[in-house]
Amino acid sequence: MEITRSSPLTRRSFLVAAGTAAVAGCSQTPSLQLVKDSFSLVGPSGSAYPRSRAQVEAAPYAQLGVRIGNGSRGIMVLAEKSGDDLQWLSANRIMLVTRHGRIVKTVGLPTDLSGCVLFGPDLLEQYNFAAPAAPSGMLRRSIDIGAAFGIPVQSKFTVEGDESISILDQSFDTLRIREDMESSDRKWRHPNRYWLSKRSPMAWRSLQHISPDMAPIELEVLKRPA
């Protein structure tokens, strides 16, 4: 059965299918093939993923759970790794690029984040999972949203405490960190949150705002990259 493309993107409808990447090597761009079985979304409120933990683990590629606002949950797959940048794709050709857990580029959303330049080390670059502590100082970055370029944003990180979370019926012990971000140019102020692993420098879950006129994007690592 061929996968049909999703209807136009809204905050409540993001991903209706998952793609699969035939990864010969992480440093190379794999050819993208659509899976032949439909990944129907489960639950009217988007409370469940379209695949079980066993199905996710059985697949030979890294997978990322994605949700915009209160929309349905979808699954993206790792298509390419270039340095610290991970490129995730859906079957309907939506792309997210993450770097140290942060979304730095999107393609195919109602309002895309087309660029992100950081002036200094980001959260996971400062995070010492062996001795968890709040990253120090302010993080400054410049972002491009749609046709607007060079929007200045600054952030401050605060440790909120330990939290055990569940992703696809698997529990993880994490350290929850809040990122208070602000852009004086746009009068845009939001908290982002990251649930960081206590065993390795990665974010199992995050809730990130990438645009003033878009709901936050929730990311969950369903199967981590090798």
DSSP-based three-state secondary structure for 218: strand
Q: Is 5 inside a domain boundary?
A: no
Residue 211 resides in a domain? yes
pLDDT (tens place) for every residue of the chain, 226 residues total: 222 333 344 433 444 333 333 333 333 333 333 332 323 333 345 568 888 899 999 988 899 999 989 888 888 999 999 999 999 998 778 899 999 999 999 999 989 999 999 998 888 787 766 666 656 678 999 999 988 999 999 999 888 989 999 999 999 999 999 999 999 877 899 999 999 998 887 899 999 999 988 999 999 999 999 8
At residue 133, the pLDDT reads 63
CATH of the domain at 131: 2.40.360.10
Structural domain includes residue 136? yes
CB atoms within 10 A of CB 5: 11
Is there a domain that residue 4 lies in?
no
| 116 within a domain of the structure (yes/no) | yes
For residue 51, the model assigns a pLDDT of: 87
Residue 10 is assigned to a structural domain of this protein: no
**DSSP 3-state of 123:** helix
For the four alpha carbons of 16, 10, 103 and 107, in that order, the dihedral sign comes to positive
Q: What pLDDT is attached to residue 135?
A: 64
What pLDDT does 20 receive? 35
- Please give the pLDDT value at position 190: 93
What is the pTM for the complete model shown?
0.80
Rounded-to-integer distance, Cα 14 and Cα 5, Å: 11
Residue 105: predicted pLDDT:
97
- Residue at 6 is within a domain: no
For residue 70, give the 3-state DSSP assignment.
coil
- Can you give the pLDDT at residue 213? 85
- Domain that residue 163 falls in: 19-223
9 occurs within a structural domain: no
Q: Residue 14 has what pLDDT?
A: 40
CA 217 to chain centre: 7
Q: Would you say 26 and 81 are in contact if contact means Cβ atoms under 8 Å apart?
A: yes
Q: How many domains does the chain have?
A: 1
Residue 94 amino acid letter: I
